[in-house]
Structure 1
């Protein structure tokens, strides 16, 4: 369980890393080369696509950070966890999500993302 929590913490860190070079190193260390990230709005396959997805999300929500919400529940090669996206001083997160990560050793091979709360279009 401790290893799963560490992997998830690094996963959150990769979504918060704004320096392109440091983020790419995190991605290559954290994900298998052909990892897949899927949520209701995108399917990203491989390091390049995952990096581009993170870059796009950071561009859509400048100044916002991801935070782990609660515990990481894990068994076998699976981990599930909730996260929040918001500004440092916000009383309520802007986005709330729930992810399930399929692990391969100490790396992520696939993420299934679910969005529980998203901003309403103006």
Structure 2
């Protein structure tokens, strides 16, 4: 339910340069725009610098406090922030040791792979880097 609601508003809080996971935007648009910029710079014989970021273990690296701060700066309502904290801060995991799972332990950061909320929450966390 939260992912579906967030899907409808994410485009209004995420910069236009972000093309993945945003309604009415196509992930390939980013590649096409980058190619056009490079072609135009070459034609005009202008210097150009491109910056590409590839986050290693992207979802695992999201700090929950940082995500909450970003959502606060984006003016998300307190109730929304509480719901998101409840979703991410209650995560647990276990590890397979010799084929048997260990007892569950609480996680301290990160977003869950496969959770429909995770792509949108990662976008919010990454967008926070744009406003530093």
Higher helix share: 2
By the TM > 0.5 criterion, same fold?
Answer: no
Q: Give the structure with higher Rg (CA).
A: 2
Structure with greater strand share of residues? 1
Q: Give me the TM-score of the superposition, normalised by structure 2.
A: 0.27
TM-score (norm 1): 0.28
